[in-house]
Amino acid sequence: MFDMENLPGVEAFDSATLALDSEADTNRGMESLTANTRAIAAAIKDPAERARVDKAIKERAYADFGKGAVIIGHGTIKNNWVRPKVCGVYEDDWLARTCVNFGGIWANTMEEVVYYKGAMDSNGKPLHSDNTYSLTFPADDLPPKYAKYFWSVIAVDGKHMRVLPNPLNRFLLNNQSRLQYGKDGSLTLYFAPTKPAEVNDGNWLPTPGSQDYRLTFRFYGPRGGVAAGSYYPPAVRQFEGR
């Protein structure tokens, strides 16, 4: 009903009653928000109220959503990775729910998988597909330590949250990739438009397109620090190579 680059104003409430009547909300704590939404849907039948609500959305809600999107509602940041506070089950955290829904039409619960969003490198600069980046896990802190089932990392564009097309049709790196570990047992992943010299092909995720993008690191069957909320992946560093 709307383009992700052009969010709706008051017209979003034109279908609110239809949406709310279609299926019961399984998230507890949303009852008051549901009631408010129904009240607004009824109120905007008045032209003056419709104009007032539209102005409030565009002057206030857009700004609040923009701020919340950075940390997925009320999430936390470390090493420039964002960990959401809630996912899949939101209770009354409507801002986090909105941010997750904007980035994807569906999400697992945090008991099933924990997602980390990375949009900046170690220097706080936006990740750009023209650059080459590396992500190194020390031998004693590899991703499988925190995933009961498996882990994966994908790169998505910053506008529509879709995986970056590339000639190899390679859209993720995970524990099933043909990874090569360092002599010390560490693991380094690379994100670059072309494969850096002397880098193992299986450790490289192509990022063509001359655009800003973000990484999503996923731990399926989270355990240890990922389940507890204390762990964050290492910082993504710009890689110069030789």
pLDDT single digits (tens) 162-208: 999 999 999 999 999 999 999 999 999 999 999 999 999 999 999 99
Q: In this predicted structure, what is the pLDDT of residue 242?
A: 45
Q: In this predicted structure, what is the pLDDT of residue 241?
A: 58
Per the structure, the complete domain to which residue 130 belongs is given by: 108-238
Residue 155 has pLDDT above 60, yes or no: yes
Residues 131 and 64 in one domain: no
Residues 113 and 213 in one domain: yes
In a domain, 80, yes or no: no
In a domain, 158, yes or no: yes
In a domain, 64, yes or no: yes
The average pLDDT across 72-81 equals 96
Residues 148 and 66 in one domain: no
- Is the pTM for the entire model greater than 0.75? yes
Cβ neighbours of residue 38 under 8 Å, at least 6 residues apart? 16, 17, 20
Residues 115 and 232 in one domain: yes
In a domain, 140, yes or no: yes
User: What CATH number did the domain enclosing 160 receive?
Assistant: 2.60.120.600
The average pLDDT across 210-218 equals 96
Residues 64 and 184 in one domain: no
Nearest to 8 by CA among 42, 43, 53: 53
In a domain, 151, yes or no: yes
**Tens of pLDDT along 225-242?**
999 999 999 999 998 754
How many structural domains are present in the chain?
Answer: 2
In a domain, 86, yes or no: no
Residues 227 and 146 in one domain: yes
How far, CA to CA in Å, does 18 sit from each of 35, 39, 158, 169?
A: 14, 13, 31, 39
Residues 119 and 20 in one domain: no
**Tens of pLDDT along 216-229?**
999 999 999 999 99
**Average pLDDT across the chain, whole number:** 94
Measure the CA–CA gap between 75 and 121, rounded to whole angstroms: 18
106 falls in which pLDDT band (50, 70, 90)? confident
Residues 57 and 169 in one domain: no
**Tens of pLDDT along 109-147?**
999 999 999 999 999 999 999 999 999 999 999 999 999
**Tens of pLDDT along 18-40?**
999 998 888 888 899 999 999 99
Residues 112 and 231 in one domain: yes
- DSSP string covering the chain: --BTTB---GGGGGGHHHHHHHS---STT-HHHHHHHHHHHHHTTSHHHHHHHHHHIIIIIHHHHHHHHHTTTT-EEETTEEE-S-BSB-TT-HHHHHHHHHH-S----TTTEEEEEE-B-TTSPBPBTTS-EEEEE-GGG-GGGGEEEEEEEEEEETTT--BPP-TT----EETTS---B-TTS-EEEEEESSPPTT--GGGEEE--SSSBEEEEEEEEEE-THHHHT---PPPPEE----
Nearest to 221 by CA among 163, 140, 143: 143
Residues 116 and 219 in one domain: yes
Tokens at 72, concatenated: 């997925």
Residue 65 has pLDDT above 50, yes or no: yes
Residues 120 and 232 in one domain: yes
Residues 118 and 195 in one domain: yes
| Type of residue at 27 | N
In a domain, 35, yes or no: yes
In a domain, 88, yes or no: no
